[in-house]
Structure 1
Amino acid sequence: MPRITANGSWTSPIGAADVAAAGGTAQWLEVVDGETWWAQSRPAEGGRVALLRASGGAVTEVLPAPWNVRNRVHEYGGRPWVVVGDLLFFTHWDDQRVYAMDRTAGTVEPITPKPADTHGVRYGDLRAGLDGEVWAVRERSTGPRRADVARDLVALSPAGAQPRTLAATHHFLTSPQISPDGRRAAWLGWDHPAMPWDGTQLCVADIEPDGTFAAHRVLAGGPDVSVCQLDWETEDTLLALLDPEGWWNLHRVTLDGEITNLAPVPAELGGALWRIGSRWFAPLGGGRHAVLSSGRLAVLDENTATVSPVEEAAELVSWSPAFAVRDDTVVGVAAGAMSEGAVVQVDLRSGTITELARSEVNTAHLPDPAYLPTPRERTFRSRSGEDIHAYVYPPANPDHSAPADELTPYLVHVHGGPTGRAFGVLDLDFAYFTSRGIGVVAVNYGGSTGYGRRYRERLREQWGVVDVQDCVDVAEALVAEGIADPNRLAVRGGSAGGFTSAASMTTVRTYRAGTAQFPILDLLSWTGQGGETHDFESRYLDSLVGPLPQAQRRYEERSPINNTDALAGPVLFLQGLEDEICPPEQADRFVAALDGSGVPHAYLTFPGEQHGFRRAETIIAALEAELSFYGQVFGFDTPDVPTVELRS
């Protein structure tokens, strides 16, 4: 019989160390000589990204420590490795240079110059080019501000010659892809103030006899059309994901600019291009294409103009935009409602699913499924009559039950981006709380991807309003249904989600507590003009808040830093000290304003962490601090974690 225990104080087999062990996310997957290769982060090794391969039923490491296959292009990183012939090319985090490993001899040599300043030159989105070259996006710091950056497309020689510029058509670029006949190159480009999900251009140029690019032509895209992926189909046609009708669908684009939607569907087959080199589709042959339809594996058949889910893989509800095909087999990184992300292989002919490798957490770390929450997909209604999509994770623990008269405390989880989204997958971060009697609801508020351009653009010039209100409406709906305790609601999120959490705590009275991880707190400073963010997002607020200087008052009014005297309750801040996207200066100022205010608060900083926490020790400390924080605010005991000190 389960013991009657107050919510929050349930004993759980899921510790913060288990969550940290599960943080080894697989990414950047490719098929090389019939084998599946991928990059994978390792929290236990300080967040190092290893390169692995599955061969003969075993997983082996391609590059030993200390190689760290990661780069800083756009600060979120781009495709960090590619195999060309007998050479593996990869970017190394420590110095951001490109290296080549001879796959036979195992020797590794740098092929790009050492930059004068640490991380002053970065490379990303590596692709095979002409005659054994590697094509890449090069990013160079040009001044003292974080947003002082220039980019171009370059060819890198395996012999280590100076990089050769190919083109510099836009402020932001993806690496060019070479046509099957070697005569042309195609790439994506966009300029401030657009973000890639607002409007991009698909560019094509002839390759001159000396290997340089001729003047480019724009074949698709524009100010209000986003292209998120392209692939050459033949020497005269390309396949591309673009959204002229408001949904990322797969199109054929000819060199004379004719564009054909291969299967018009009101579904997102693409996504937000946060990391250049992401892939949402791959041709299977015969007019069939593997696609990700709102994150699920599907097959697009242009012969019948249909997009059909792969029923055998229905339990895998979220595929990363990094998959590949081999004949009629799809390999990728996928997760389900009760399964952590894993490298899997799906045979489309037989329906057989084979797990090639799980993330760094193995089945020994996962508890009995009875301790794991089953996410429930819900659609709520906003007070303005709009749909709000969310996933509810109720408490789950067979050893405990709450007193009959006790309502469940709930955490409203706000995803980042804000052009991101939550999926209904197993998340040990959530399970850490739900197994202790605390519910979680992950809200895909207006502005989230996965629901079409109109839903994304609900947030246009409304950041800090629509996101805040949608989360409030979901929280209050759970209260009205008798599911959540109105006196024990908290809001939590990181990055853009940290902004919404802080904005919620300073503008509404729904929540008793808030946690903000590496947040944005001062909107005016979080621009290229203000100098407290990186180049990629330095004009993002033009669309999210409004253009400057016209909208300056709006920036000031919505900035949590200017509303510290309106806090609804205690707050916890968690911040990496090497974060170039949401730098610690903002949290420093916010916390300084709270000292002596009487508002309970805590501020934990983590040396060596950038944007998002990658080190096991950081993940553990952050989770335990968050649990202790809620216990102190909501009034339940947390004897199994250190007490985080709240000052006021």
Structure 2
Amino acid sequence: MSEPRESSAKAERPGFWTSSFTAAQAVAAASDYADLVCDEERLLWIEFHPEDGRNLVHEWTPGGQRSLTPNGFSARSRVYEYGGGALCLHGGQLFFVNEYDQQIYVQSLLDLDCQVLTKRPDCRYGALVYDSQRGHLIAIEECHSVAAVEHRLVSISPQGVRRIVAEGADFYNSPCISPDGSRMAWVEWDRPDLAWTRTRLMVAVLDQQGGIQERTVCSCGQAEAGHPEAFQQPQFDALGTLVCLTDRNGFWRPWRVLDNNTLQPLPARNADHAPAPWQLNPRHVLGLPGGLWALSWLEQGLGHLALRHAESAEESRLAHGYQRFRALVANSRWLFCVAGSVHCSAAILRIDLLTHEHQVIRQIMPALAEDEISQPQSVSYPSADGEVAHGFFYSPHNSRHSSPSELPPLVIFTHGGPTSATYAVFDNRIQYWTQRGFAVVDLNYRGSVGFGRAYRQRLRGEWGVVDVEDVFGAIEYLVQQGYIAPDKVFIRGSSAGGYTTLCSLLAAEGRFRAAASLYGVSDPLRLRANTHKFEADYIDWLIGDPESQPERYLARSPLERAVEISTPVIFFQGLKDGVVLPEQTERMVAALRAHGVPVECFTFAEERHGFREAKTLCSVLEQELAFYQRWLPG
């Protein structure tokens, strides 16, 4: 790798374009919405505020909006580290999980007074659901002790009395109560299975106190016959019929559970109706009165939303112009959801169930004018083994530089997870690069969600191989299309994407000008030993058993093979990261520096896994850009 050039390159060159869209502006718009809940009078949601890193509960009514969260509180669950289901609404009371102590609090919507409901400092809570028949709260409890981390379903009375409802499984998700209060359903699974490989749908008959009288496993013989399936998002409709998503036919689609414990498919597209359930209580489909279902699904990475009748299959498309939908809730008149589009990273929509018209209640406004936004182009390209991979390509776009004189440099985005996905919605990080003359390809490499079970399973035993093949397949495709300069390619990734980034550096010496790893995995064997319970078996699934296949870990460890890397790398790491421990990044940086690789490393004392503070996010963008520009060839 040649020495970096001086920064006197002309601003007209792609990669050095000037832009009024600053890192601070990009970060200021980096909010998000989650955990929508509603009743007939109001809608509540959690809103992330990057300026101080807090998650505040906001309320909307036809009369206006207000923030409900007092100083000293932040609404966020950390069950399974990724949380979810941190809000529950009943009557004039809000129940929420406080981020700072992970306890459940009850808050009056009249005077906003907060009172603690649980007092178990060794436990975390999430997936809150209200049992209106008994006046109790249902939650997933995660208890930490020196010996183990245990999960269970519990009920909590208005006085804070806790009662165990179900235990014995390693993990739980999405508890729900039937309308008459007689049954409860949930999803559970045991190690070494994962939430997206094999789970059980459980249905229990409840007694008057909410205890379980009997329970049934709704596996319907699939797993026993050698065809494991992953259930998610169970819910009872207004008539008490249980519906869930399962991928038994290759896609996460809605199925109805019949009285004889068999499943019957609901009318739906043959497509994934949800991503992998990394968080608690996700909601991408929703039962409505009159036999209607609100369904969201993905086709070629693009999201759709519709109302569909469970019997006639009559369909009405909703919210045209949006490409991602999540957090569906409804009352008798309105459907609410979080939606994203190419012009808006997230908006809360209110959709009239009678007229199907929608109104934006709240949205994250882009700091860029519409004509300055680079539009995503969906790409499907050939990769190894005759298979096809997917992604979104963004051309450089800046009105001050409408006619670039040369092919642009490329920044490859590799998402985290890795069993996750990227979507065609406005992303400030991407626009920050395209404004400066970089092209961006945001990959949904094989193993990503949204393209069916078979595509999602492609990383089983192949992490660090299949995803890397797709990186190089994307480069070859974009070069052949004449979209990018072949000698000006950069690659970046966070968490699992950081691992794909570092493995890509091993796979092709000299192919990249520079790279960035944001809290990325560099030693998968160390990650396996130190990571949290939810992902404790994930590495074995992604790579293999280190006892019987130790050669895989040596071959796919960027740390063990650091001597083979000569590409300049910039690292970013939170010192409170409980998923990828800081020592991984420290050792990788030291190994690269030991044999002369240009390396920069920035650490952040208060950040965990996934940066949240505005000053951190701003620093990362600015430092990464400066690093790449130093390594752009003339």
Residues 7 and 402 in structure 1, CA contact (< 8 A), matched pair in contact too? no
Mapped pair 1:301 → 2:302: no
TM-aligned CA deviation for residue 235 of structure 1: 6.5
Per the alignment, residue 628 of structure 1 pairs with: 626
TM-aligned CA deviation for residue 8 of structure 1: 1.5
Residues 57 and 356 in structure 1, CA contact (< 8 A), matched pair in contact too? no
TM-aligned CA deviation for residue 279 of structure 1: 0.3
Residues 179 and 240 in structure 2, CA contact (< 8 A), matched pair in contact too? no
CA–CA distance in structure 1, aligned partners of residues 569 and 86 of structure 2: 37
Mapped pair 1:253 → 2:257: yes
Correspondence 1:2-13 to 2 at 5 A = 5-13=12-20
Give the superposed CA RMSD: 1.9
Match of 1:584 among 576, 582, 585: 582
CA–CA distance in structure 2, aligned partners of residues 156 and 230 of structure 1: 21
1:123-148 Cα offsets, whole Å, 9 max, x none, are: 0100012521111000011227xxx3
Mapped pair 1:507 → 2:514: no
Per the alignment, residue 646 of structure 1 pairs with: none
- The one-letter code matched in structure 1 to 2:125 is Y
Per the alignment, residue 389 of structure 2 pairs with: 388
CA–CA distance in structure 1, aligned partners of residues 114 and 447 of structure 2: 44
- The one-letter code matched in structure 2 to 1:469 is E
TM-aligned CA deviation for residue 403 of structure 1: 5.1
Per the alignment, residue 235 of structure 2 pairs with: 231
- The one-letter code matched in structure 2 to 1:433 is W
- The one-letter code matched in structure 1 to 2:513 is R
Mapped pair 1:141 → 2:127: no
TM-aligned CA deviation for residue 629 of structure 1: 0.8
Per the alignment, residue 57 of structure 2 pairs with: 51
Paired residues in the alignment total 614
1:470-516 Cα offsets, whole Å, 9 max, x none, are: 01110121112221111110111111111101111122233221111
- The one-letter code matched in structure 1 to 2:385 is S
Per the alignment, residue 643 of structure 1 pairs with: none
Correspondence 1:129-528 to 2 at 5 A = 129=131, 130-143=133-146, 148-161=148-161, 163-220=162-219, 223=223, 224-233=228-237, 237-263=241-267, 265-294=269-298, 295-305=303-313, 309-310=317-318, 313-319=319-325, 321-327=326-332, 329-359=334-364, 362=365, 366-401=367-402, 404=405, 406-509=406-509, 510-527=511-528
Correspondence 1:91-106 to 2 at 5 A = 91-106=97-112
- The one-letter code matched in structure 1 to 2:170 is H
TM-aligned CA deviation for residue 428 of structure 1: 1.0
Residues 28 and 322 in structure 1, CA contact (< 8 A), matched pair in contact too? yes
Residues 296 and 317 in structure 1, CA contact (< 8 A), matched pair in contact too? yes
What is the SS of the residue equivalent to 1:484? coil
- Structure 2: which 5+ runs fail to align? 1-9
CA–CA distance in structure 2, aligned partners of residues 57 and 505 of structure 1: 55
- Structure 1: which 5+ runs fail to align? 637-648
CA–CA distance in structure 2, aligned partners of residues 427 and 177 of structure 1: 33
CA–CA distance in structure 2, aligned partners of residues 265 and 177 of structure 1: 25
Identity of aligned residues (%): 34
Residues 238 and 289 in structure 2, CA contact (< 8 A), matched pair in contact too? no
Residues 185 and 201 in structure 2, CA contact (< 8 A), matched pair in contact too? yes
Runs of 4+ in 1 over 4 A off after TM superposition: none
Residues 344 and 363 in structure 2, CA contact (< 8 A), matched pair in contact too? no
Residues 6 and 402 in structure 1, CA contact (< 8 A), matched pair in contact too? no
Residues 251 and 260 in structure 1, CA contact (< 8 A), matched pair in contact too? yes
CA–CA distance in structure 2, aligned partners of residues 178 and 474 of structure 1: 46
Correspondence 1:63-142 to 2 at 5 A = 63-115=69-121, 120-129=122-131, 130-142=133-145
- The one-letter code matched in structure 2 to 1:135 is I
1:37-94 Cα offsets, whole Å, 9 max, x none, are: 110110101x100000122363210222221000110000020010123321111011
| Cα distance change, pair 586–402 in 1 and its aligned pair in 2 (3 A) | farther
- The one-letter code matched in structure 1 to 2:575 is L
Greater Cα offset, 384-393 or 210-219? 210-219
CA–CA distance in structure 1, aligned partners of residues 231 and 312 of structure 2: 24
TM-aligned CA deviation for residue 102 of structure 1: 2.2
Per the alignment, residue 538 of structure 1 pairs with: 536
CA–CA distance in structure 2, aligned partners of residues 265 and 188 of structure 1: 23
What is the SS of the residue equivalent to 1:605? strand
Residues 133 and 157 in structure 1, CA contact (< 8 A), matched pair in contact too? yes
| Cα distance change, pair 214–50 in 1 and its aligned pair in 2 (3 A) | same
What is the SS of the residue equivalent to 2:457? helix
TM-aligned CA deviation for residue 287 of structure 1: 2.3
What is the SS of the residue equivalent to 1:220? coil
1:106-157 Cα offsets, whole Å, 9 max, x none, are: 3211111142xxxx3100100012521111000011227xxx3111111112
- The one-letter code matched in structure 2 to 1:249 is R
Per the alignment, residue 16 of structure 1 pairs with: 23
What is the SS of the residue equivalent to 2:461? coil
